[in-house]
Amino acid sequence: MSRLYDWLDSRLKLKSVERTLLDEPIPGGASWIYVFGSATLFLFVLQAVTGMFLAVYYAPTPDHAYDSVQYIENQVTFGWFVRGLHHWGASAMVVAIGLHMLQVFLYGAFKPPRELMWMVGVVLFLIVMMFAFTGYLLPWDQTAYWATQIGINMAGTVPLVGDFLVKVLRGGETLGALTLSRFFAVHVLFLPALILAGIMLHLFILRRVGPAGPWDEAKAAAGSETFYPRQVYMDAVVMLGVFIVLAALATLVPFPLTDKADPSDTSFVPVPEWYFLFYYEFLKHVHGPLEPVATWILPGAAVLVMLFWPFLDWQKKVRAPASRPLGMALGVLFLVFVFSLLGISLKNLYAVKRVDPAIAHGKALVKQFGCTACHRIHGEGGAIGPELSYVGDRRPEREWHFKHFRNPQSVSPGSIMPKFPLTDQELHDLTSYMLSLRRET
């Protein structure tokens, strides 16, 4: 292996690249507090890889998008796992980049000569949120459709260019096929190109100006440590831990779709992802002539303040948090504002018991096909077939139920249960209802 490396090095000068990447000095030495940037980069790679596999089966049209996601979830080998990784990875990436920016703010690492690095980081954060917004529509279920409709309508409140922005986002007069194909193209082509360019620029600036290190100048001047091996080890441990958590969430916490998007159902109330909940909660309290303040004035001002914060902080050379009381107080107030609204939204959300539409439809299908003539469910029904009151505990495998409803003989030879003419959507909904029949529910 060393001979191969030497051969490649003689042609590609790999050792100089290795020194650039691994021998960079870290003032004050390696630390667990520096792992968030690498964790964010790892999550981006994970999102890219899982997204490529999902795109192999995904069909970006209103007629087939929903069914293709169902196919990935129920038919593709480990499709449910890949989709779960992609879903939970999106949330993890928002958390990781948020913690990374918080660490940089706390350590004053945005101060000269690192202003540009902070500004590129803010742009990367905005791109991540655009990934979340454009990706949310792609399953084409009710939640995705109506949450996106609300987001697009908010863009229409921007004066002068509002109507233009709405048409650009929709691709036409209504939210439909052109919107979906446009969001898909932006999500898998434009945004990845932008974020790759931003990541390379971010790393280039980091290599030119170097890591900031601790805010204590005496500790930073006491000595430095190369990026390899200790910081590489810490980053690797965190990446492995993040992947294990995401794999556990993808396996244990399914992310079911709601019903297929129905533009005529204006009564549907969407619930956005948790990282948008605070903003939706804020919008509930602002009405009438003040609505533009919530939809674009305050968000635009917040983005501009974040972007140009290195130039607004007049204490250019002071990095210690205790020496920046006003800046730290503003940061704390911002976090209190965001997390208070998030807490209120979550409290209101979980105060109302929500029924998954797929489960409700599956229960209706059980009644429609007269399944309780043979099966008892919570004290009601016949005793010809097995009791289904807690079948979700006995048979937690989604694939087993799917095959059973499609062809009972395939998993239960000798079964007297007849075949029913079920669509893939009905198979999915019946399976969701069966899996909901558990003792804890």
CA distances from 93 to 129, 193, 311 (A): 10, 17, 27
Would you state the CATH architecture of domain 357-436?
Orthogonal Bundle (1.10)
- Look at residues 317, 307, 245 and name the one whose alpha carbon lies nearest to residue 91: 245
Angle between helices 115-137 and 191-209 (to 10 degrees): 160
- 35, with CB counted inside 10 A (0-12, 13-18, 19+), is buried
CATH 1.20.810.10 placement within the chain = 23-351
- Interatomic CA distance for residues 265 and 348, integer angstroms: 23
CATH 1.10.760.10 placement within the chain = 357-436
Where does the pLDDT of residue 199 fall: very low under 50, low under 70, confident under 90, or very high at 90 and above?
Answer: very high
Which of 46-60, 211-225, 310-324 is predicted most confidently? 46-60
Tokens of 342: 């998030």
**What is 23-351's CATH topology?**
Cytochrome Bc1 Complex; Chain C (1.20.810)
- Side-chain-side CA neighbours of residue 281 (13 Å): 19
- Asked whether 212 and 114 are in contact (CB, 8 A), the reply is yes
Sign of the Cα torsion 95, 100, 105, 107 reads positive
- Interatomic CA distance for residues 301 and 335, integer angstroms: 16
- Interatomic CA distance for residues 103 and 217, integer angstroms: 17
Query: How many C-beta neighbours within 10 Å does residue 261 have?
Result: 24
pLDDT in tens, 89-119: 999 999 999 999 999 999 999 999 999 999 9
- What is the structure's pLDDT at 38? 96
Where does the pLDDT of residue 352 fall: very low under 50, low under 70, confident under 90, or very high at 90 and above?
Answer: low
Average pLDDT on 40-48 reads 98
**Burial profile 199-221: b = 16 or more Cβ within 10 angstroms, e = fewer:** beebeebbeeeebbbbbeeeebe
Question: Is the previous residue joined to 113 through a cis bond, with omega within 30 degrees of 0?
Answer: yes
- What is the structure's pLDDT at 37? 96
